Chains A and B, each alone.
Chain A
Amino acid sequence: MDMEDYFEYTAKLFDQSAIMGKPEALKGIRVLDFSHVIFGPTAARILGDYGAEVIKLELPYYGDLWRPATYWGKYWKHSNPIWHSVTKNKYFITVNLRLQKSKDLIYRMAEKADVVVENFAPGTAEAWGLGYSQMSKINPKIIYLSCSTYGQYGPMRYFPGWDLLAQAASGVLSLNGYPNTDRFYKLPDYLGDFGPGNFGALAIVMALYYRNKTGKGQYIDIAQTEAMMRMLYHFTFYSLTGRELGRVGNTDPTMIGAAIYKTRDEKFVALACGTTKQFHGLLKALGREELAKEERFINYRETLKPENNEYLRKLVAEWVKGKTAEEVVASGRDYEFPAAEVMDDYQICYDEWRRERGSVILFRDDMYGEIALSGPSAQLSGTPSRIKWIARPLGYHNRYVLKKFLGLSEEEIVALEKQKVIGTFDDRPGLKPPVYYNLDNDPIYNYGREVGK
Chain B
Amino acid sequence: MTTETKEAIYTRYGRPSELARALAQIMDPEGKPEVLEDVLVLDASYANFSGIIAASLFAEFGAEVLKIEPPQGDPARHMTPEGEEVEGVGIPFIVEGRNKRYMTLDLINSPEDRETFRKLAKKAAVVIETFPAGQMDSWGIGYRQLKAENPGLIYIAITPYGQYTKKAREFVRLPDSDITAQAGSGLPANMGDIPEAGEPYNWPLKAGLWAAWYISGLSAALGGAIALVHRQNTGEGQMIDVASMDSYANMVTIPPTIGYTWEKPRPRIGVLDFILYPYGHWQCKDGMVAIAAPRDHDFRALLKILGLWEIEDDWRYSSDRIPDILEQATHLHKIIQEKTIKYNADELVAKALNYSKKAARSKWRGGGVPIVMRVMTPVTAMANKQWHIRKAFQEVEEPALGKRFILNASFVKMSESPPRIKWVATQIGRDNEYVREKYLAES
Contact = CB atoms under 8 A, between A and B. Distances in A.
Given A71-B274, A155-B10, A220-B415, A378 B242 contact: yes
A150 B10 CA distance: 12
Interface in A35-75: 46, 50, 65, 69-74
Contacts of A446: none
A259 B179 CA distance: 7
Contacts of A309: 82
Q: Classify chain A: how many residues form its interface, as a range.
A: 35 or more
Given A190-B252, A198-B251, A381 B238 contact: yes
Interface string B188-212: 1111110001001101111111110
Interface stretch (B113-121, B156-164, B427-435): B156-164
B47 A81 contact: no
Given A304-B82, A338-B176, A343 B186 contact: yes
Contacts of B201: 178, 183
B378 A238 contact: yes
Contacts of A294: none
A342 B188 contact: yes
Central interface residue in B26, B80, B248, B256, by most chain A CB within 10 Å: B256
Given A206-B61, A209-B225, A359 B250 contact: yes
B366 interface: no
A159 B13 contact: yes
Interface string A343-362: 11111111011101101100
Contact of B378 (A13, A175, A250, A253): A175
Given A301-B78, A383-B226, A235 B393 contact: yes
Given A50-B226, A260-B204, A349-B255, A227 B177 contact: no
B205 A274 contact: no
Contacts of A199: 218, 411-412
A375 B437 CA distance: 43
Interface string B47-69: 11000000001000100000000
Interface string A164-196: 110111111111111000111111111100110
B259 A372 contact: yes
Given A229-B408, A374-B250, A378-B220, A14 B78 contact: no
B1 interface: no
Given A202-B57, A377-B242, A82 B162 contact: no
Contact of B382 (A6, A168, A182, A235): A235
Contacts of A250: 188, 200, 203, 205-206
Given A341-B183, A381-B240, A185 B416 contact: no
B389 interface: yes
Interface residues of B, number: 188
Nearest to B46: A275
B207 to A, nearest CB: 5
Given A206-B61, A260-B203, A46 B230 contact: no
B347 interface: no
A176 B220 contact: no
B331 to A, nearest CB: 17
B91 interface: yes
Contact of B250 (A6, A164, A333, A377): A377
A300 interface: yes
B166 interface: yes
Interface stretch (B99-107, B260-268, B305-313): B260-268
A270 B185 CA distance: 11
Contacts of B440: none
A451 to B, nearest CB: 30
B336 interface: no
A231 B378 CA distance: 11
Given A238-B382, A336-B173, 16 more contacts: A26-B226, A71-B266, A153-B27, A172-B209, A189-B187, A194-B253, A199-B218, A206-B36, A207-B414, A223-B390, A239-B405, A260-B183, A270-B182, A336-B174, A338-B179, A345-B254
24 contacts: A7-B134, A7-B169, A25-B229, A71-B266, A167-B290, A176-B208, A198-B215, A206-B419, A210-B33, A226-B410, A233-B92, A237-B91, A254-B79, A272-B178, A305-B82, A339-B174, A344-B189, A352-B167, A353-B168, A357-B168, A357-B243, A359-B249, A377-B215, A380-B226
